[in-house]
Structure 1
Amino acid sequence: MLTEIVDYFETLDPVLAAFYATLFTWGVTALGASLVFLFKGMNRALFDGMLGFTGGVMVAASFWSLLAPGIEMSPGEGFVKVIPAVVGFLAGALFLFGLDKILPHLHVNFKMDEKEGIKTPWHKSILLTLAITLHNIPEGLAVGVLFGGVAAGFDGATIGGAVALAIGIGLQNFPEGFAVAMPLRRQGLSRWKSFNYGQLSAIVEPVAAVIGAWAVMTFQPILPYALCFAAGAMIFVVVEEVIPESQQSKYTDISTLGFIGGFMIMMTLDVGLG
């Protein structure tokens, strides 16, 4: 089944393939958000485990799908070879750092007086949605950059690797949709509005994917930098957003085990398909 999916994506235009792949990740987010129609509450232990899983997937994807290929396709030897990775990684982290300071948002399980970004009177529903949107920008960009790298013919960039990354991101998007929708439902929003805000958090992924694929195909020399840029952005999100959210209750061991599980699954997908 997975092999057939990879074969199908090989027949597509790279930008279109990136778009389709991130439509899938967006759809999985919507699927997670749809749980608000079935459940009245959220099991905290399960939720922390899913947050940990999200972090594990993102860290594994950052290395196996982005940093390692980015270093492999960089020219030169020794310290020269790692320069694109260092520059791209730092730029990605600083980009998300800037967004984190500017974009108003509120993390799941945090109180309103702990919201971040510029001061705004926006409702909690919008702030929660924007917090998850921060997670999704580098994820969509990473998928697009990989598909663009395949089109550009770079060694180390494969359709299998790009599909594996999309699948891994889709898996960890499931709890993210739920993470937005359920708290909003508890705040008194209707099930339909809660669902809409939950799925809306991932709408940025197809946009970022198309931009990433187009940029790499148009400016091919930037690919190693772009891969590591996405990795730096994702690692920033994990350390700044995901891990603190998963450590807010007594279920820290469960979130840690979730992280290990997510890392192993993403590593397996990338090595198996890439």
Structure 2
Amino acid sequence: MLHIFSDVSPVMAAFLGTLFTWGMTALGASLVFFIKGANQKFLDSMLAFAGGVMIAASYWSLLAPAIEQSADSPVPTWFPAFIGFLLGGTLLLFIDKVMPMVDLDRYMNDIKDEKAKSRTALLMFSMTLHNIPEGLAVGVAFGAVAADGSGAALGGAIALALGIGIQNFPEGAAVSMPLYREGMGKKKSFLFGQFSGMVEPISAVIGASAVIIIEPLLPYALSFAAGAMIFVVAKEIIPGSHEKGNVNTASMSLMVGFAIMMMLDVALG
């Protein structure tokens, strides 16, 4: 595999690596096609599962790397994560306030409940936002290969793309399943689910092309996405999964989603 990436420019290598991560997001989103006759309890469980995935990803995929990358910065180690996290939540609060003024019917006309439309829009936005700094991180890793030139640096960049790709599998399902729960068709749920991963190749190219500029900002971007995701989980995902009375089932599903994402993040580094 190394020769495939070593024979192309760092920008192209980053693009190829994140095509894989996007593909894994799409693969996870495709699980929606295998749901047959799902009842409300199962659908509430899937929404809560998505919340668990998002909480775990917020720490192990976003906040922990942000703190680690801040170790050599001129500001205190905690500062980028603290500022980015609060700004991310503040942005989602603002978006939640202006959401009623957005014409969501153009894209979600098959979801009849207005509250459900707002919830799914926030979910999709936060998951997409979460994938941007991950794509940047892959781009920076491949961009750094040009300066380092060692096989170890290239191997590390490939391992990062592989790890993020595998982690993206449950994240794709965490978008498409809730969309289907709210009344969106399977095909459209899949398309929106995989779209959340489409930003990774784009941001990877940007990261590899501007590695010197992007790298210092990564801790802020990672924690910003974490704050956005936690806001959505707290305000929309958990209350939404409890609406129909399936509180215990939803709570356990959230824990299962958290545990699976935690396992993948820790195991894959």
**TM above 0.5:** yes
What SS class does the counterpart of residue 201 from structure 1 fall into?
helix
Structure 1: 5+ residue stretches without partners: 104-116, 186-193
Amino acid at match of 1:208: V
> Which structure has the highest helix share of the two?
2
Among 235, 246, 250, the residue aligned to 1:251: 246
Check the 8 A contact 1:22/1:140 in 2, yes or no.
no
Indicate yes or no: 2:265 matched with 1:273.
Answer: no
Give 1:113's aligned residue: none
Amino acid at match of 1:237: V
CA offset at residue 248 of structure 1? 0.7
Q: Return closer, same or farther for 1:184/1:44 CA change in 2, 3 Å cut-off.
A: closer
Give 2:94's aligned residue: 98
Cα shift readout 1:203-241 (whole Å, capped 9, x = no counterpart):
432342234324444122111112112212221221122
Where does 1:49-68 land on structure 2 (aligned, <5 Å)? Answer: 49-68=45-64
Q: After alignment, is 247-256 or 22-31 more displaced?
A: 22-31
Give 1:197's aligned residue: 188
Give the distance between the partners of 1:99 and 1:182, measured in 2 at CA: 22
CA offset at residue 29 of structure 1? 1.3
Among 79, 84, 88, the residue aligned to 1:83: 79
Among 131, 136, 143, the residue aligned to 2:134: 143
What SS class does the counterpart of residue 184 from structure 1 fall into?
coil
Check the 8 A contact 2:43/2:181 in 1, yes or no.
no
Give the distance between the partners of 1:9 and 1:86, measured in 2 at CA: 39
Check the 8 A contact 2:85/2:226 in 1, yes or no.
yes
Amino acid at match of 1:268: M
Give the distance between the partners of 2:93 and 2:46, measured in 1 at CA: 24
Give 1:125's aligned residue: 110
Supply the RMSD in Å over aligned alpha carbons.
3.3
CA offset at residue 249 of structure 1? 1.8
CA offset at residue 70 of structure 1? 0.9
Give 2:23's aligned residue: 23
Runs (4 or more) in structure 1 with deviation over 6 Å come to 7-12
Q: Return closer, same or farther for 1:178/1:243 CA change in 2, 3 Å cut-off.
A: same
Percentage identity across paired residues of the two chains: 30
What SS class does the counterpart of residue 46 from structure 2 fall into?
helix
CA offset at residue 118 of structure 1? 0.9
Give the distance between the partners of 1:121 and 1:143, measured in 2 at CA: 27
CA offset at residue 143 of structure 1? 3.0
Amino acid at match of 2:28: V
